[in-house]
Amino acid sequence: MSVAVEGNKVKVHYTGTFDDGETFDSSQGQDPLEFEVGGGQVIPGFEKAVVGMKVGESKKVKIPETDAYGSHNPEKVIESSLAQFEEGMTPEVGQQFQTEMDDGQSVLLTIVEVDGDKVIMDANHPMAGKDLNFEIELLEIV
């Protein structure tokens, strides 16, 4: 029986949870996730977990933050002022928006604090700094 190796296109079902058991994503009840192993389409730890799996096999893996979305980088927490926002916009904690950085790269910012005229935004991925747990079932090597 063949096993998944780098370069294979695979289809998997998965459920992702945080350490407290909260589910953050799942393909159950939907089309399976299809990706090329080693193609950089999913987080590195997920790719590594699929390598060596046989069709029909299921496994549970814990992916450390370094193989997921990386560590939380305090340098990506930005302080701004209300004057930087469009007139009539009221920034609120949890709001997200895309912006372009000085280097031309597009980044997702999340407002994490509003204090008077001060607005604190975080450009880290929302799951940066978190270990992730996955239950993965290899359905098919395409």
Q: Which pLDDT score is estimated for 90?
A: 86
Q: Which pLDDT score is estimated for 51?
A: 97
Domains along the chain with CATH numbers? 9-70+128-141 (3.10.50.40), 74-122 (2.40.10.330)
d(CA 61, CA 39): 20
- What's the pLDDT tens digit per position in 32-70? 999 999 999 999 999 999 999 999 999 999 999 999 999
Cα 75 to chain center, whole Å? 19
Q: Which pLDDT score is estimated for 1?
A: 63
Q: Which pLDDT score is estimated for 97?
A: 85
Which residues of the chain register pLDDT less than 70?
1
d(CA 85, CA 106): 17
